[in-house]
A and B are shown apart, each in its own frame.
Chain A
Amino acid sequence: AAGVIQSPRHLIKEKRETATLKCYPIPRHDTVYWYQQGPGQDPQFLISFYEKMQSDKGSIPDRFSAQQFSDYHSELNMSSLELGDSALYFCASSSLMAGLYGYTFGSGTRLTVV
């Protein structure tokens, strides 16, 4: 079965650079969620989109922005990168009425800022 695809798997950037992470949800899933997981920490919700509109916002820095496109894929844009942005970034998708079925997570993008 098709899963949530994230690219790239690994990314190394220098401080103050920009990074773009991509997420391709499961077909027919209309909702995308972004999470940030620092080393040894639990995943923290950043932002979500439903039908290409932002549906919820968490602890996402102003330096970050995201959008969902007409084909439902989503991109997380991160500017002025800081060392503290080094983390595993998960994308997950669901249908809005996923109920008990929850999310399907991608394998994550590991961002290292040096």
Chain B
Amino acid sequence: AQTVTQSQPEMSVQEAETVTLSCTYDTSESNYYLFWYKQPPSRQMILVIRQEAYKQQNATENRFSVNFQKAAKSFSLKISDSQLGDTAMYFCAFRSPDGGATNKLIFGTGTLLAVQP
């Protein structure tokens, strides 16, 4: 079974600085999808960035980028120029490829990020 591990329960960063959140996963599949979701105090689940395992190029969305290391099964999130609005719980998630037995998202336990003014 697939598992997702986030080893940093909490992190803090100063406004305008850069922070990296870690995520590792375990799977025997060769293709799959990885996601980072943000959950602010409103508890809404917001998709931040996504990556397909077959694509070697790291995904980037404005200030958010990932470092995807397939061999190491690592999928870290880098937030540049941190803003107060980035304060939230961040979940790393794994999804099997389409057509499989399940398309459910498997979440890590989350990292609570606090951006300090």
Contacts and interface: CB of A to CB of B under 8 A. Distances in A.
Given A43-B91, A100-B52, A102-B33, A55 B45 contact: no
A45 B52 CA distance: 22
30 contacts: A33-B103, A33-B104, A41-B109, A42-B107, A42-B109, A42-B110, A43-B107, A45-B104, A55-B102, A55-B103, A56-B101, A56-B104, A92-B45, A96-B98, A97-B99, A98-B103, A99-B97, A100-B52, A101-B50, A102-B35, A102-B50, A103-B105, A105-B44, A105-B45, A107-B42, A107-B43, A107-B44, A108-B43, A108-B44, A110-B43
B105 A45 contact: yes
A101 B46 CA distance: 13
B26 to A, nearest CB: 16
Interface residues of A, number: 27
B110 A102 contact: no
Interface residues of B, number: 25
B-side interface mostly: loop
Given A103-B105, A105-B45, 18 more contacts: A33-B103, A37-B43, A41-B109, A42-B108, A42-B109, A42-B110, A43-B105, A48-B103, A55-B103, A56-B101, A88-B43, A92-B45, A96-B98, A100-B50, A101-B50, A107-B44, A108-B44, A108-B45
